[in-house]
């Protein structure tokens, strides 16, 4: 998942020199008859499109007159209308406001996901075949294997499909074309707990509360405070190698 905070910071730094005038002015109608015939005209249009998208992604309102003023000054070799010192202050303020807005949005999303997750877990635990552990982890046996159960120090090989509670699939070893292998004590707590309960050869559905998953930070395509659903098939267990004896 890209880091939106880094995107915002990078955007502000990249566009600092183009913020020419912060004063709001009446925006004049755009001349739709502008020609896009030459290579330079097309390149300018493409760069303008990308800049506009970046401004919007960074939470800024597009001010065509201010942008045009800055670009015209650069073209005509004029000095910036805003001093270097003021530029830094202005862009720092813009960054702070953008980050505060982003954090507030993330907080609201996190609160919503916590509430939705609790509701899902409450409804799911009443379903036939679902077991809820002391930690709040839930699992349902799809196929019960006959092999041993792994220890936290073991390395396991699994096939899995991961989904959000709305059914959105965010990861799948099946689609990736090969099973995943990892040390069981090196993953999220819900995986470490859940797989230790599974005999080798089993396929289970495991529902992991957000506090046993990625929590308020989220991860990649996983939003903050998301309850996760995994269909997991435990294929192989490799015991941790014993530490060499001291001589």
pLDDT tens digits, 187-239: 999 999 999 999 999 999 999 999 999 999 999 999 999 999 999 999 999 99
CA distance 170 to 151: 27
DSSP state of 222: B
DSSP 3-state of 164: strand
The secondary structure element, H or E, covering residue 90 is helix 84-124
* Residue range 139-150: mean pLDDT, rounded: 97
Q: Is 188 a catalytic residue?
A: yes
Catalytic residue among 82, 154, 230, 237: 230
Told to judge if 2 belongs to the known catalytic residues of this protein, a careful annotator would answer no
Considering 139, 160, 206, 229, which one is annotated as catalytic? 160
CB burial of residue 236 (10 Å; 0-12, 13-18, 19+): middle
- Choice among 8-12, 69-73, 170-174, 183-187 with the minimum mean pLDDT: 8-12
- Check whether 104 has a pLDDT greater than 50: yes
Q: What is the model's pLDDT at position 240?
A: 80
Catalytic residue among 73, 90, 116, 170: 170
182 as an active site residue: the answer is no
Q: 3-state DSSP call for residue 241?
A: coil
Percent of the chain residues topping a pLDDT of 90: 77
> Residue 31: pLDDT above 70?
no
- Of 82, 120, 208, 214, catalytic: 214
- pLDDT value at residue 16: 41
- Residue 215 has a pLDDT of 96
Residue 152: count of CB within 10 angstroms of its CB: 13
All residues at 6 or more sequence positions from 75 whose CB lies less than 8 Å from its CB, including other chains: none
pLDDT at residue number 30: 56
Global pTM exceeds 0.75? no
Q: What is the number of alpha carbons within 13 Å of residue 65 lying toward its C-beta?
A: 9
Burial (CB count <10 Å: 0-12, 13-18, 19+), residue 139: buried
Q: Is the pLDDT of residue 132 over 50?
A: yes
Round to whole Å and give the CA distance between 49 and 55.
Answer: 10
For the chain, give every residue range classified as CATH 3.10.50.40. Answer: 127-238
Note the pLDDT tens digit of each residue in 59-85: 889 999 999 999 999 999 999 999 999
- Mean pLDDT for the chain? 88
Q: Which of 171, 208, 222, 229 is catalytic?
A: 171
- Summary count for the chain: helices (H), strands (E): 6, 7
Contact status, residue 173 vs residue 179, Cβ threshold 8 Å: yes
Cα dihedral across residues 94, 97, 99, 105: positive or negative: negative
**pLDDT-derived band of residue 246, with 50, 70 and 90 as boundaries?**
low
Count the Cβ atoms, other than its own, within 10 Å of residue 7. Answer: 15
Q: How many CB atoms lie within 10 A of CB 65?
A: 15
CATH number assigned to the domain covering 127-238: 3.10.50.40
Q: Residue 171 catalytic?
A: yes
Q: Is the pLDDT of residue 155 over 70?
A: yes
State yes or no: pLDDT of 10 exceeds 80: no
pLDDT of amino acid 57: 83
Contacts of 186 (CB under 8 A, 6+ apart): none
């Amino acid at each position: 998942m890209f880091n939106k905070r880094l995107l915002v910071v990078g955007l502000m730094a990249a566009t600092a020199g183009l913020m020419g005038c912060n004063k709001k002015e009446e925006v004049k109608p755009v001349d739709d008859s502008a020609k896009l015939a030459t290579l330079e005209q097309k390149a300018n249009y493409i760069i303008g499109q990308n800049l506009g998208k970046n401004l919007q992604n960074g939470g800024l309102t597009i001010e065509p007159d201010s942008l045009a003023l800055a670009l015209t000054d650069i073209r005509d070799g004029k000095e910036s209308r805003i001093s270097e010192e003021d530029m830094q202050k202005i862009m720092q303020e813009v960054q702070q406001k953008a980050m505060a807005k982003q954090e507030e949005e993330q907080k609201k999303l996190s609160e919503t996901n916590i509430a939705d997750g609790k509701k899902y877990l409450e409804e799911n635990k009443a379903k036939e075949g679902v077991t809820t552990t002391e930690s709040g982890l839930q699992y349902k046996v799809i196929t019960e294997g006959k092999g041993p159960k792994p220890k936290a120090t073991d390395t396991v090989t699994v096939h899995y499909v991961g989904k959000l509670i709305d059914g959105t699939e965010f990861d799948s070893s099946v689609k990736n074309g090969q099973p995943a292998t990892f040390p069981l004590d090196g993953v999220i707590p819900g995986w470490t707990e859940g797989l230790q309960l599974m005999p080798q050869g089993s396929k289970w559905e495991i529902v992991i509360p957000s506090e046993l998953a990625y929590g308020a930070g989220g991860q990649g395509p996983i939003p903050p405070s998301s309850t996760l659903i995994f269909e997991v098939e435990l294929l192989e267990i490799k015991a941790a190698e014993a530490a060499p004896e001291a001589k």
